[in-house]
Amino acid sequence: MKPTNFVWHYTVGTRLPAISESGLLIPARSLHATASLGVLWFSRQQTWEPSTARTGWKRHPAARTAFPEKDGVFRFGLPASDSRLVPWPAVTRLADIDIPEAMAMVSAGLRRGASPTDWLGVVAQVPLAELRFQRWDGATWRDAQLDELDLAALSAMRPTVPPEHGKPRSVAAARGGAMHDVH
């Protein structure tokens, strides 16, 4: 299949150890949601999904080129014809995302240059075996193998959250494992 026959779940390298360990992409709830189900977000965007930007490097092409030297930019592709994909805004109703939360997602996405009509969601786990995996090399997306990456080094780069009862926990542990990449 050509890459345009895929929709993409974009992520960074520090999230790959938890993803690899689980063997799945797992839907995550928005940190601000109240009663919603988790959604595993995909995008029709073929270069980068602007709504995933949390810092300027993801919006600026020159900075994006330098980023892979740090922890890497990756994506998982699902065939665009997959029946589990639900387009925006129908996915918000399926996942029981409140209207104010959905409007906040649209507002944040638009500020980052996204188009909500590019967003699709899956409300179920997706095994990695069903996905295409690619790495950004600074200029283009290239097929890659998750098991060929130095996951231990990427795991060591993951920030920690404040300790609970005197025991430090990783962000992955605090979020319940491999839940990742909330829009």
d(CA 79, CA 107): 28
Q: What is the mean pLDDT of each run of 10 residues along the chain (183 residues)?
A: 78 90 90 72 93 59 49 92 97 90 92 94 96 92 89 60 36 37 44
Q: How far is CA 9 from CA 5, 32, 42, 45, 69, in A?
A: 14, 20, 5, 10, 21
Residue-level pLDDT at 52: 81
* Contact present, 144 and 135 (Cβ < 8 Å): yes
User: In which element (H, E) is residue 18 found?
Assistant: helix 16-22
pTM of the model: 0.76
Q: Which of 36, 30, 28, 35 is nearest to 9 (CA)?
A: 28
Residue 43 has what pLDDT?
Answer: 97
User: Is residue 135 classed as helix, strand or coil in its secondary structure?
Assistant: strand
Q: Give the chain's domains with CATH numbers.
A: 3-174 (3.90.210)
Burial of 128 (0-12, 13-18, 19+ CB in 10 A): middle
The whole-number pLDDT of residue 72 equals 84
CB-CB contact of 75 with 7 (8 Å): no
What pairs with residue 77 in β-bridges? 8, 132
pLDDT (0 to 100) of residue 51: 86
pLDDT for res 138:
84
Q: Which of 178, 180, 174, 34 is nearest to 95 (CA)?
A: 34
Amino acid, res. 161: V
pLDDT of residue 53: 67
